[in-house]
Amino acid sequence: MALIASRVHLVWVATVCGKLETRYRYSNTLGWNTFPVPMLTEKNKVDLTRCAEDILLARESHFPATIADLYDPDATPDDLRAAHERNDEVLERIYIGRRFKNDTERLEKLLELYTKMTAGQVPAKKKKAEARA
């Protein structure tokens, strides 16, 4: 959940899945399966799990507010905003050792990792043709 709730993931989804009006389109095939994540240590996983728990606890503390209520840009509770900020900080430090300067830098790093992630992969049709040869 920490990955999906991050600014890094939002930048990726906006780029590869796109938007309809102001709403993000989400596809597990494009948005999740292609999302480049660096290798995570056990400590990284523990830290991200804690961040996700903090986001969920902040949401729960405002029950019965809806997600729409909680994420209204003008009314997001301070504790929820802080939980998301902490999540972004932890994840961005995993990616580059510091906070990203902006979304352009986030996307550049994601595309770099995606290129490395897919290097050497042969499309399925080409694999079948090579197997027949």
What's the whole-model pTM score?
A: 0.84
- Do 5 and 54 form a contact (C-beta atoms < 8 A)? no
Cβ contacts of residue 20 below 8 Å, gap of 6+? none
Helix pair angle (78-96, 7-16), 10° resolution: 80
Which of 6-10, 16-20, 21-25 is predicted least confidently? 21-25
Beta bridge partners of 20: 23
Residue with tokens 């840009």: 73
25-39 mean pLDDT = 88
Q: What is the pLDDT of residues 62-113, one digit of tens each?
A: 999 999 999 999 999 999 999 999 999 999 999 999 999 999 999 999 999 9
* Category of 21 on φ-ψ map: left (φ > 0), alpha (ψ -120 to 50) or beta: left
